Amino acid sequence: MSTRLTFTDDGAEVVYRGTEFTLEKELIEEATGKPYHDVTDHEVLRIVDEDPVFDGEPVRIGDVL
């Protein structure tokens, strides 16, 4: 089962193992030590999944938004 991430200005909407939840922007910044728009999708996936499977190159949230 894959993890789905959808980014908004307020944070990331996550579906992980069938459970939907939101990671708030501030939580992502605190966990990574970086401004929200500089964090990559791979970094957010590492917050959610202890053994993530990456698809492609990392993409900055600022580039997605």
pLDDT value, residue 2: 82
Residue pointed to by tokens 């991430």: 5
DSSP summary character for residue 59: -
CB distance 43 to 58 below 8 Å: yes
Q: What is the pLDDT of residues 8-58, one digit of tens each?
A: 999 999 999 999 999 999 999 999 999 999 999 999 999 999 899 898 999
4: exposed, middle or buried (C-beta count within 10 Å: 0-12, 13-18, 19+)?
exposed
Cβ atoms within 10 Å, residue 56:
7
pTM score, two decimals? 0.93
